[in-house]
Amino acid sequence: MMKKPELLAPAGNLEKMKMALLYGADAVYLGGKLYGLRALGGNFTREELREAVGFAHKLKKKVYVTVNIFPHNSDLRGLPDYLRYLQEIGVDALLVADLGVFMMARECIPDMELHISTQANNTNWATVNAWHALGAKRVVLAREMSLKEVREIREKTSADLEMFVHGAMCISYSGRCLLSNYFTGRDSNRGSCAQSCRWKYALVEETRPGKYFPIEEDERGTYIMNSKDMCLLPHIADVIESGVESLKIEGRMKSVHYAASVVRAYRLAIDAYFEDPAHFKVQQEWLDELEKVSHRPYTTGFYYHQPTADDQLYGTSSYQQTSEFIGLVRDYDTTTQYATVEQRNNMKIGQEIEVFQPNAPLYRQVLSDMLDEEGNPIAVAPHAQQIVKIRMDKPVEPYTILRRDIPAKA
């Protein structure tokens, strides 16, 4: 029997981590305040790291911590102490990219499971086997890999393999980029990427400063390095059958809504495949779920072919989505049928909303009865994170997401 792969989700903060696990992730990857590649992603204090590990382990799930910067000498100060702290609180594995950090971890915390980050540019079986021989348990494959290449690596290594299946693509090989450093002084390889590849560019000739020439025939300029987002859910059977141990979702800087919705779609797809592989079929409702969150148009990246112009977005760097996150259920009173909700976007009486739960089917209802914290009837909840009570048509569980459709543009 083929082993069911782990579903690994991003967690930019404690709330996103809880949502990812409750909506179906088997494990999460997250970063502390130092040593990770998402310095602007919120991240976790030492106390929050301890709480995260405790929450996950109660659910019998795992936490992996990123220590995957390419450090300069100054970055190494305090690293041994931090590594020992991660072992003390029970972190399940570390993600590293730098050989020096890897060897330091092997020396300081020899019992810790080590995973090799995609930042290490793992594109062939020889590299995977080399890391495995040094003591790595798992290697994260570069996004720039085809299905054929993944299958060949699987045949030639006994290391666990992890691959990205969903999220943003990087214009540079596995994130090894100097653009951000050059333009802004923020080093992407030390956690501070400014996403310079998403900017709009034009040409300037040195003798005519201030005279901007479009790179193609478009007066708005062009986004020459702006990739579409990866989405392999329509091909999840191929992914599973390639034999990788972990399927990874990108997006530690994305929203709570993103964490819950993307995880839930992939959870349902993976489980459905293993219930009946011979008759498995991708369901439209899973694909619809991925359209509800903020994203760029989707592509399969390098998985089936070398990317072409169709895999890039030249006219805009904006996102699209079909649904808007408006509230998060904190509690539900079975007697009164009121849910206590934290507002995340303007909501008002008369709107039709969708109720999206961790462990129950979607349903829709009209907002017909809403109270403020003092129990007074209100028609609208306009204030950010305002606490309101809403009468629900059906029972709901904590961490349920309330959302509304975004009207299609004419």
Q: Between the CA of residue 10 and those of 100, 255, 325, what are the distances in Å? A: 25, 10, 19
226-245 mean pLDDT: 93
Q: pLDDT tens digits, residue range 147-164?
A: 999 999 999 999 999 999
- Among the candidates 281, 311, 341, a domain finishes at 311
359-385 mean pLDDT: 95
Instruction: Assess whether pLDDT exceeds 90 at residue 316.
Output: no
Same domain, 33 and 83: yes
- Going by pLDDT thresholds of 50, 70 and 90, the confidence category of residue 125 is very high
Mean pLDDT of the chain: 89
Same domain, 244 and 331: no
Beta pairing class for 6-10 and 27-31? parallel
- Phi and psi, residue 285, nearest 5°: -65, -30
Same domain, 33 and 84: yes
Same domain, 20 and 116: yes
**Domain count within the chain:** 2
Instruction: Assess whether pLDDT exceeds 80 at residue 14.
Output: yes
Same domain, 297 and 330: no
Whole-model pTM above 0.85? yes
- Quote the crossing angle between the two packed helices 256-275 and 284-291, to the nearest 10°: 170
Query: Of residues 170 and 139, which shows the higher confidence score?
Result: 139
What are the helix (H) ranges across 68-137? 79-88, 99-108, 125-134
Q: Does residue 203 form part of some domain?
A: no
The confidence score (pLDDT) of residue 177 equals 61
Q: Does residue 192 form part of some domain?
A: no
Lowest pLDDT segment from 15-19, 103-107, 312-316? 312-316
Instruction: Assess whether pLDDT exceeds 60 at residue 222.
Output: no
- Among the candidates 259, 279, 311, a domain finishes at 311
Query: Of residues 254 and 364, which shows the higher confidence score?
Result: 364
- Phi and psi, residue 5, nearest 5°: -70, 150
- Going by pLDDT thresholds of 50, 70 and 90, the confidence category of residue 217 is very low
Same domain, 161 and 17: yes
170-198 mean pLDDT: 64
Q: Does residue 180 form part of some domain?
A: no
Same domain, 268 and 343: no
The confidence score (pLDDT) of residue 99 equals 97
Q: Does residue 195 form part of some domain?
A: no
Beta-bridged to residue 9, according to DSSP, are 28
Give Cβ neighbours of residue 66 (< 8 Å, ≥ 6 apart): 29, 30, 31, 35, 36, 37, 38, 94, 95, 117
Q: Does residue 274 form part of some domain?
A: yes
Same domain, 106 and 237: yes
Domain that holds residue 341: 323-405
- Quote the crossing angle between the two packed helices 79-88 and 99-108, to the nearest 10°: 50
Instruction: Assess whether pLDDT exceeds 70 at residue 133.
Output: yes
Q: pLDDT tens digits, residue range 63-118?
A: 999 999 889 999 899 999 999 999 999 999 999 999 999 999 999 999 999 999 99
Q: Does residue 372 form part of some domain?
A: yes
The answer to whether 353 and 347 have CB atoms below 8 angstroms apart is yes
Same domain, 140 and 262: yes
Give Cβ neighbours of residue 157 (< 8 Å, ≥ 6 apart): 125, 128, 129, 132, 139
- Going by pLDDT thresholds of 50, 70 and 90, the confidence category of residue 209 is confident
Same domain, 22 and 165: yes
Instruction: Assess whether pLDDT exceeds 80 at residue 241.
Output: yes
Q: Does residue 191 form part of some domain?
A: no
CA 254 from chain center: how many Å? 7
Same domain, 142 and 15: yes
- Among the candidates 311, 344, 370, a domain finishes at 311
| Residue 296's CATH number | 3.20.20.70
Q: Does residue 332 form part of some domain?
A: yes
The answer to whether 114 and 137 have CB atoms below 8 angstroms apart is yes
The confidence score (pLDDT) of residue 318 equals 63
Q: How many CB atoms lie within 10 A of CB 62?
A: 21
Same domain, 399 and 377: yes
Query: Of residues 176 and 291, which shows the higher confidence score?
Result: 291
